[in-house]
Structure 1
Amino acid sequence: MPLSRRFFLAGVSAVSLAACRSGAADRMVTSSTRSSAGTTMRAVPNAGFDAWVAGAKERAKARGISSATINRAFRGVGFLPGVVERDRNQTEFVRSFEDYLAIAASDARIEIGRAMLQKHAALLRQLEAKYGVEKEVIAAVWGVESRYGERRGDVPVISALSTLAYDGRRGKFFEGQLMAALKILQRGDVSADRMTGSWAGAMGHTQFIPTSYLAYAVDFRGDGKRDIWSDDPTDALASTAAYLSRSGWKRGQRWGDEITGNSPSGRGRVVKPAGDSGPVFEVYHNYSVLGRYNNAQKYIIGVGHLSDRLAGRPALRASFGPDEHGLTLADRKALQRGLTRAGFDAGEADGVLGKKTFAAIEAFQRSRGLPVTGTPSKALLAML
């Protein structure tokens, strides 16, 4: 695959999933239309941006994009300050490996994924036979990227990419993505109004950036369009399988295994995503292939472990130990379930504490006449 996707997704992997929950009910950033400050993705007047767009149109023409395509693509395009804010504040969304894994392979994500394996069994068997990528791996990428299509993103891609290219922090990269998006429109795979995605221009069920789409997307339905935006996930899942296949996926081989100690079997190498506390993995060739899709370590292990759980393999054996509040992952899940049972919605009981859980704690404390701290504790868990 082009290096651009690795560069891009390594930069935003922390927000593609790790910011998707805030205890954890905030939406995935790859599909959210709200910035971290709550600003909606609404275009605002910007004369400098308008001038930049005029120049970009000329550069697009020089690259062979037709005037008709350009006019359709830029009709209604606008500067999105929320996109710039997202791009400049990614670090605030960084989750620990424990939290990331708890989200990526949450009980709900496993349950939904198994249902999707059944619902799309015939398609996934076809993809596995054609591309040599296990159905659970395809489904796991789908689950991590968009929660099985539930959160594909509704930000206008042309506006988002134009905003990021104009902003200039990674202007050359995003202008390249913009030009690729225009080529997609010119080919007729999707209309400009349907070309929506994340704040950073990742699109569809499995969040392809435009250059990766041009390189790897396939028309598996045979209708003449490579439609990764449709409610029907066929082309998106096929495109993901094609991507992994062409990146060197070896069917029947593991991505990695949890091990005890620091000595690999000789077939792979050891990685310690949580340092000396938490699980240790021996990883193999397919680990690197998943890294072609997104080379962030958390992402690779998140997809790999979710694929294992979808295939019926057990949860990880190693424990991460208690957090700064003295609570283990099991404790935090129990706390969230207890709050929700008491009538204070803490979101999905995945053990990842964030805004919704903290708000539920505060509401519970207020209702009981307790000091309103929003702080989880063993004592609070015992009360619940």
Structure 2
Amino acid sequence: MRGEKGVSRRRMMQVVAGGGSALAALSALTLGSCKATADLDITQFNSWLQGVRDEAAARGVSAATLDDAFKGVAFNYDVIALDQKQPEGTMTFVDYLARVVNDKRVANGRALFQQHQVLLKQIGGLYGVQPRFIVALWGIESNYGAQQGDYRVVEALATLAYEGRRAEFFRKELLNALEILQHHDVSAGNMLGSWAGAMGQCQFMPSSYLRFAVDADGDGKRDIWNSTADVFGSIANYLAGNDWNASQTWGREVKLPAQLDSNLVSLDIEKSLEEWRKLGLRRADGGVLPVVHKLNASLVRPDDTSGPAYLVYGNYKAIMKWNRSTYFATAVGTLADKIEQG
């Protein structure tokens, strides 16, 4: 996984936009940042693609699948511009949360939660994941499926792999994408996603798709682009596969005492709620922590030394495996709570 701080700021901008496709609007402003590609020999791109084809063919991907996958694929400068544009991260967590977990997203989440309650209950029970978290992840990743991204995944991944900054990672994801096409779950033309190759309504990278995508509606395809059941099942399967505990929530906002060792703010440190209570932590409303619950918790502060603080449990760390960003994980938990309150 990528480093937390780098991902949190960059991923923050994706989420605020409402999904990967919204970043396309930035391309006109960022093409000038592609100067770094000036030394890249783009004329060799097709030769490089042939090497990928040969490797994929050796893994069992058919010539017909490869022809379809690479038809019209070209080096995409927009993708490189977006990859090179690193947002400065000037938005505080409080501002970020207000934009990501806004009233409209909460209202839509509550309505969709009610609309799909039968399906959500079925899938949540099957995988041991509370439905509100399925809906919250769906909402933050793609604005409930409305913004999935409109980049051709094969072209985006090929561009990023050839550019070379993270060549090994993106080449593996490209080969994974070709394997998905070989399974005929989706056509190359319909395999769309973000500029970074994250796909569908749950924004899975191809490797996550191969591990966790499921055919929940029983039509023989794992369709995270169009099937609500498959989207819900895939999200739940991902969480279940990363040690989700249905008997616990994600965490809670807390008030800190005036003097607290800043070294205790770490996901690597776990203490019982009783121990945190003795250190002076209180609920956000000033009440006593519910120490009757035998939970271990870590203390996180998305903005490090300022802003709100949270005691978080094991499920929070499961969300962090989805995206190693405290901004993202806290937003998912907050949205899930607000959906349940509706």
Is the 1:156–1:196 contact (alpha carbons within 8 Å) kept by the matching residues of 2? yes
Look up the match of 1:202.
198
Look up the match of 2:159.
163
1:137-161 C-alpha deviation (Å, 9 max, x unpaired): 0000001101111101110000000
Look up the match of 1:236.
231
1:167-211 C-alpha deviation (Å, 9 max, x unpaired): 000001000000000000000100000000000000011100000
Mapped to 2, the partners of 1:63 and 1:242 lie a distance apart of 26
* 1:229 to partner: Cα distance: 0.9
Look up the match of 1:56.
52
Is the aligned partner of 1:103 residue 2:99? yes
Distance 1:92 1:79, change over 3 A: farther
Root-mean-square deviation over aligned CA pairs: 2.2
Mapped to 2, the partners of 1:180 and 1:132 lie a distance apart of 28
For 1:132, give the aligned amino acid. G
One of 279, 300, 308 as aligned partner of 2:337: 308
Normalization by structure 2: what TM-score?
0.82
More helix by share: 2
Distance 1:196 1:94, change over 3 A: farther
Is the aligned partner of 1:33 residue 2:54? no
Distance 1:282 1:244, change over 3 A: same
One of 234, 250, 259 as aligned partner of 1:255: 250
1:315-334 C-alpha deviation (Å, 9 max, x unpaired): xxxxxxxxxxxxxxxxxxxx
Mapped to 2, the partners of 1:79 and 1:277 lie a distance apart of 42
One of 314, 317, 321 as aligned partner of 1:285: 314
1:115-148 C-alpha deviation (Å, 9 max, x unpaired): 1101111111111110111111000000110111
Mapped to 1, the partners of 2:46 and 2:68 lie a distance apart of 16
* 1:88 to partner: Cα distance: 1.0
Is the aligned partner of 1:123 residue 2:114? no
Is the 2:20–2:142 contact (alpha carbons within 8 Å) kept by the matching residues of 1? no
Q: What are the equivalent positions in structure 2 for 1:89-100 lying under 5 Å apart?
A: 89-92=85-88, 95-100=91-96
Counting aligned pairs with the same residue, the percent is 42
Is the 1:16–1:28 contact (alpha carbons within 8 Å) kept by the matching residues of 2? no
Q: What are the equivalent positions in structure 2 for 1:125-140 lying under 5 Å apart?
A: 125-140=121-136
* 1:166 to partner: Cα distance: 0.4
Q: Per the alignment, in what secondary structure is the counterpart of residue 24 of structure 2?
A: coil
Distance 1:89 1:191, change over 3 A: same
1:235-289 C-alpha deviation (Å, 9 max, x unpaired): 0111010110111110130211111115854431211222343211111111111
Is the aligned partner of 1:87 residue 2:83? yes
Normalization by structure 1: what TM-score?
0.73
Is the 1:12–1:90 contact (alpha carbons within 8 Å) kept by the matching residues of 2? no
Distance 1:247 1:10, change over 3 A: farther
Mapped to 2, the partners of 1:308 and 1:27 lie a distance apart of 19
Q: Per the alignment, in what secondary structure is the counterpart of residue 310 of structure 2?
A: strand
* 1:75 to partner: Cα distance: 0.7
Corresponding residue pairs, total = 299
Unaligned runs of 5+ in 2: 32-40, 261-272, 276-295
Q: Per the alignment, in what secondary structure is the counterpart of residue 311 of structure 2?
A: strand
Is the aligned partner of 1:268 residue 2:268? no
Mapped to 1, the partners of 2:318 and 2:229 lie a distance apart of 22
Distance 1:11 1:211, change over 3 A: farther
